[in-house]
Structure 1
């Protein structure tokens, strides 16, 4: 079981994740030879968020409520 992160660290992780590119945007054309490393970094952050009960798809809207479309739920 992974170590639990405190709320301050989780909030910082969510903020950082909200500025990361979407995986579909990470191409060799845009990122060159580093594109696979960038994808690994995105996945690593997603995994930590998921392990702590946070839906990565909802993070941007939570961090930037004024800049995100209304939810379809």
Structure 2
């Protein structure tokens, strides 16, 4: 089991993650031969967020609440 990050480091990782491309956006056309490496990096960050009880799909809204539409359900 991995050790959890301190709150400051975790917050920095969340901010950095919001600037990473989404995996679906990473194509060989856009990233060339390094596209698999970029996908691996995205997955590594997602795994660390999950280990720290953070849902990667919710990070953008947490970091940028003013830019996230309110839910209607």
Q: How would you bin the TM-score normalised by the shorter chain?
A: over 0.9
Number of residue pairs aligned between Structure 1 and Structure 2? 73
Which residue in 2 is equivalent to 1:63? 63
Is 1:37 matched with 2:37?
yes
Which residue in 2 is equivalent to 1:7? 7
Structure 1: state its 5+ residue gaps. Answer: none
Superposed structure 1 runs of 4+ greater than 2 Å apart: none
Give me the whole-angstrom Cα distance separating, in 1, the residues matched to 2:10 and 2:60. Answer: 14
Give me the whole-angstrom Cα distance separating, in 2, the residues matched to 1:72 and 1:58. Answer: 16
Q: TM-score, normalised by structure 1?
A: 0.94
- What RMSD over aligned residues (CA atoms) do the two structures have, in Å? 1.1
Q: TM-score, normalised by structure 2?
A: 0.94
Give me the whole-angstrom Cα distance separating, in 2, the residues matched to 1:4 and 1:70. Answer: 30
